[in-house]
Amino acid sequence: MEYIQLNNGIKMPSIGFGVYQIPLLMTKQCVLDALAIGYRHIDTARNYGNEREVGEALIDSGISRAEIFLTTKIYGADSYRQACQYIDEALNKLQTKYIDLMLFHWPSGNITETYRAMEDYYKAGKLKAIGLSNFFIHDFNTVISSCTIIPMVNQVEAHIFHQRKVFQKDMNQYGIKLEAWSPLACGKNNIFGNLILEKIAKSHRKSTAQVALRFLNQKGIAIIPKSIHKDRIKENWEIFDFELTNDEMKEIELLDCDCSLFSWYE
């Protein structure tokens, strides 16, 4: 297990298990499988509709709550009071006294008041870290101009085809860590059959997916892969027993298109 230290000193596992679009009836078992494999970071959201199932899995796993890093997200609320309600509902559904990382899911609603509520819950110890998701420069600056606590994380689309080189530097100026949703690009651009990845994977006796994930990991980007298949969940986890060389990293850097692969994003 490798960790990334956030700007408040909290250590976050550098890989997490995501539950976006996992069928509700499968969520609990998938989380239990991930925890049994070794994952200690679980990533959910209010909008995913499966916080309750995630909470049940964490309890049924028998693993100490202190060993698990739990991330969830809320959308922008219309008011401070509504944002507090969203956070309370997350705590209730997840059946936990605190959340390790709460992210502001998308720029929406009253950005300033939603983030202010997150800050207050952070100060109260109910949120151990707070951050953003899908916040780019304009909306990011809205938060920065009014916040009293600098976000610790910004979770965005990031993968070998959209490596976020400039954006990562922008976030680094504030000590904010980048986290990748869809780190395997949802299989787009024939990522699993990419010839460069295949060549590198063969030399390490790894899969192309593992090479793609390891690349982001070595770039200091936290990753949130997702799968409903236990063998794939395990495969995504097993990326810490090899290291890409500088030349291999440079080869993969050339795959960067510097644009989203999703027409609805950005």
Here the CATH number for the domain that contains residue 217 is: 3.20.20.100
Closest alpha carbon to 153 in 11, 249, 1, 2: 11
pLDDT of residue 234: 98
**Quick one: pLDDT at residue 266?**
65
Instruction: Answer yes or no: is 217 within a domain.
Output: yes
Q: Which residues does the annotation mark as catalytic?
A: 48
Domain that residue 145 falls in: 3-254
Strands 101-104 and 69-74, by their bridges, are parallel
Q: Report the C-alpha gap between 27 and 29 in whole angstroms.
A: 6
Residue 266 located in a structural domain: no
Q: What is the pLDDT of residues 41-99, one digit of tens each?
A: 999 999 999 999 999 999 999 999 999 999 999 999 999 999 999 999 999 999 999 99
Rounded to whole angstroms, the Cα distance separating 211 from 192 reads 10
Half-sphere exposure (CA, 13 Å, Cβ side) for 80? Answer: 7
pTM comes to 0.96
Render pLDDT for 166-219 as a digit per residue (tens, 0 to 9): 999 999 999 999 999 999 999 999 999 999 999 999 999 999 999 999 999 999
What residues are designated binding site for substrate?
105
Nearest to 185 by CA among 95, 244, 261: 261
Considering the domain boundaries, does residue 20 fall inside one?
A: yes
Residue 10 lies in a domain: yes
Residue 259 lies in a domain: no
Per the structure, the count of domains in the chain is 1
Q: 248-262 burial, b for 16+ CB within 10 Å, e for fewer?
A: beebbeebeeeeebe
In a domain, 265, yes or no: no
Q: Which of 165, 175, 107, 162 is nearest to 140 (CA)?
A: 107
> Which of 209, 213, 212, 235 minimizes the C-alpha distance to 223?
213
In a domain, 179, yes or no: yes
